[in-house]
Copies of this chain bind each other. A is one copy, B any other.
Amino acid sequence: MTDSLALDGRGPLHEQIRRAVCAPIISGAWPPGRRVPSEHELMALFGASRMTVNRAMRTLADDGLIVRRRRTGSVVAAATGDRAVMSIGSIRATVEAGDQTYSYESLARRHARASDDSAGRFKIAAGTPLLNLSCRHFAGGRPTALEDHWINLAAVPEASDEPFDKTPPGEWLAARLPWPKSQYVVTALNAGAAMAKLLDLAPGTACLKIDRRSWRNGVPAAFVTTLYPGTGHALTGEVAPP
């Protein structure tokens, strides 16, 4: 079956080799566990140098399609459960992508100390100074999301001096925390009375809740809860072979 591998002549050689080996894997012709030709075999097959073949195979391994082991060679990886890449953009970007005008309203801004439930979910020492921001986002004048931020002032002290009346906390944080480590938890919940009123919904309407915890340099930096009307917002993502 290795004979049927063929280059398509388009693009760099290492890409062609990667595609040639990738094709029978994603088509199912090579089932998980099947042996993939060794680098030497591919060198002979395609007339490429080992470094070029190695780069193609390494890319496939990085993408999780094959598993490489010394001496035994490479095999097609077992298909794991999906790992979908969900794009969680800023609310402004989401609204403006739908050709609606974005606006934002600050509902509350208060200092607090970690002691109540926020300390528990945040995993920080009790007494840590926090800044709590509550705000509402509008798409074309209609409320589209509620956000509740808990910023760890020990990790992000600059937040103390920021009024957050013009810049939404989410955007401000994104600029201050480039490439944070973040964890997301997505659930559904019924809107309570206050929440429903703020979102202009009937009480009990299903909403999408996205909890996000972010760290900066290993220190918990922010805990954000975002609430969307369930029917008005969708989290989308995709997984695709390379």
Contacts and interface: CB of A to CB of B under 8 A. Distances in A.
Given A27-B217, A83-B87, A188 B208 contact: yes
A179 B79 contact: yes
Contacts of A185: 234-236
Contacts of A206: 188-190, 206-207, 230
A198 interface: no
A208 B26 CA distance: 30
Interface string A192-210: 0000000000001111110
A186 B217 contact: no
A32 B84 CA distance: 26
Specify how many copies of this chain sit in the oligomer.
2
Contacts of A205: 190
A9 B206 CA distance: 52
A182 B217 contact: no
A233 interface: yes
Nearest to A228: B188
A38 to B, nearest CB: 21
Contacts of A186: 86, 186, 208, 234-237
A25 interface: yes
Contacts of A1: none
A103 to B, nearest CB: 19
Most buried by B among A79, A93, A179: A179
A99 B164 CA distance: 45
A3 interface: no
Contacts of A11: none
10 contacts: A28-B178, A81-B89, A81-B93, A83-B86, A83-B88, A84-B88, A84-B184, A181-B240, A189-B231, A190-B230
